[in-house]
Every structure is written in C-alpha cells, then in structure tokens.
Amino acid sequence: MNTEKYLVKEKKKLNLYEVPTSYHGKLEKKEVKEVLIPENIKKIREYQERLYAENKQALLIVLQAMDAAGKDSLIKNIMTGVNPQGTKVVSFKKPSENELDHDYLWRVAKNLPPRGEIGIFNRSHYEDVLVSRVHKLVLDQPFPKNLVTKDIWENRFEEINNFEEYLSNNGIKIVKFFLHVSKDEQKERLMERIDRPEKNWKFASSDITEREYFDDYMLAYADMLINTSTKRAPWYIVPADRKWFSRYLVSEVIVEKLKEMDPQFPELSKEELDSLDKWKKILEEN
C-alpha cells in the first residue's frame, strides 16, 4: 500500500474539503478486515516485543479528529494482542485547573512513553492550537494577555515543532494521524449514539454544539497540519468515513515506522553466552 499519498506535505496549501474522507480504491473490506489488518497486528506485536526488550527507543502515536471519527475503536482494534506492559494510552480531555497553571506542553511531557514502549495519545497537545483557537479559550485562561497576539498560533506551531524535534533527538519516534471524517458521516454516528441504548453512554451534548463550528475546525486543522507536519514528526490524513479502511491505513503506517526503528533483541556478552551451559546444567540437576 502506498501510504505516501496520505502524508501531509509541510507548508503546502491545504483545503480539507478537497481531501477525500472515504476510500474508493480496489481494496475489499472482507480481505482488509480478515487478512490484512490481522497481519499488521501480528507485525506490530512482534516489533513491540523487540522494542520492549531493546529498551532504547519509543514510539509515540498521536490521534486527532473531530468527534465520532473513530479514535477509540481504532486504538482498540489495531492494538489488540499487543502486550499492555509495553503500551501506554493517554486520553487528553479538557485541561484541569492544575494543568492550566502550567504551560500547555506540561501535561503532554509528563505522559510521554518511556524507552521500550509504544505511547498513544488520544487527542494531544494539538488541542491547544485547535479547540483553544476555535473557541478563543486562551483569553479566559490564566495566561498573560500581552502574549495573546496575532502571532500566537504561529508561535505555538514553532514551539511544538521544536518540542517534537527534541523528542526525536532523544529516541522517541513520532507519527501523527488526523482521522478525516465528513460532517454527514459524523451525523450518522452521533445519531447512532442516540438511537442505540448500548451506545448512549458515548453521547455528549457538546458533540452536537461543536458541529456548529465544523467549518472553523476544518480551517484550524488545515493550518495546523501544514505547519506541524515535518520529516521527523509527520502527519497523515486518514479517510475515516469507513472504519475498516482507516484502521488498515493507520496499522500500515505504524508497521512502516516500527520497521524504520528496527528494534533488536539485546545480545548476550561472550561471558554470558559461555555461562549458559553452566546454568542449564544446574537447572537439570535441580
């Protein structure tokens, strides 16, 4: 699969209404769900085992999307079978008072995956250039008003790029996904949350009120994507109207990134190798 076509080119003009939200290629749903995704899950599990044993690198997966785009189910689906001991999922919600008393990257930095692990951010530091921008939240936060200038978002893009470059320089590989769902498909999924009792718990009235800002979000996302997609921390726009395809594409990219990292099982020293026969003999005698 050519994942390059979904990669966001840095600083290239972007209109998200011109980017497909659904897949119309030759892949068949049945093959993807029953063969291709399971194959990738197996590969991810094998790479994670090596990553955990090596304990030198980490992988950070960032997921951003509008409501009902399928972030939660995607995580559940493609991380099935992966050792939870080497995986950390963090869902970032509305900042607490304590979090607002710190810089906007503080809560993200303290939740980064340690070496040997895969970290998944369900929403992330990018909320502070999306929700904060669309709703002008920074004006109501404990933040110096003289710093709220017309350049604040460009400044934050630069800060985020520098932060992610720092992480890359310290062995954390970053890959970011924007699950691109259409407004019509989002409506269907939200209706399902209302109509199906077993999904009522997923529904929040804010999901409806946020739809009023859909166009504003598309502009904010486009600006964010082109300004923070870098070689070291790329963004991929994932058509998300069909969950089977979005899950497959994300799993493909994750496998590619783990392959690039190429984690290896630690090798025993000559002394350790030479002592194995001795320890084996002791076990056999006891």
188-208 confidence digits (pLDDT tens): 999 999 999 999 998 989 889
Confidence of residue 10 (pLDDT cuts 50, 70, 90): confident
The Cα 92–Cα 174 span in angstroms is 17
Residue type, 86: G
* pLDDT, average across residues 17-37: 97
Contact residues for 150 (Cβ-Cβ < 8 A; gap 6+): none
Percent of the chain predicted with pLDDT > 90:
90
Q: Please, which residues have CB within 8 angstroms of residue 244's CB and are 6 or more apart in sequence?
A: 29, 32, 33, 37
- Average pLDDT (55-84) is 95
Number of H helices, E strands in the chain: 12, 5
Which domains does the chain carry?
3-285 (3.40.50.300)
Which tokens go with 136? Answer: 């002008």
pLDDT at 11 over 80: no
Is the CB of residue 59 less than 8 Å from the CB of residue 257?
A: yes
Integer CA distances (angstroms), 237 to 59, 106, 143, 217, 229, in order: 19, 26, 32, 15, 11
Task: State how far the Cα of 13 lies from the Cα of 222, in Å rounded to an integer.
Answer: 8
The 10s digit of each residue's pLDDT in 119-144 is 999 999 999 999 999 999 998 899 99
- Arithmetic mean of pLDDT, 157-184: 99
- Looking at residue 282, its pLDDT comes to 93
Tell me which residue has tokens 């594409």: 249
For the chain, strand residue ranges (E) read 58-65, 87-91, 118-122, 172-180, 235-239
Average pLDDT over residues 230-246: 98
Q: Give the pLDDT of residue 50.
A: 98
Q: Is the pLDDT assigned to residue 174 strictly greater than 80? A: yes
- In this prediction, residue 47 carries a pLDDT of 98
The pTM of the full predicted model, rounded to 2 decimals, is: 0.95
Kindly give the pairing relationship between strand 118-122 and strand 87-91: parallel
CB atoms within 10 A of CB 116: 19
Mean pLDDT of 20-25: 96
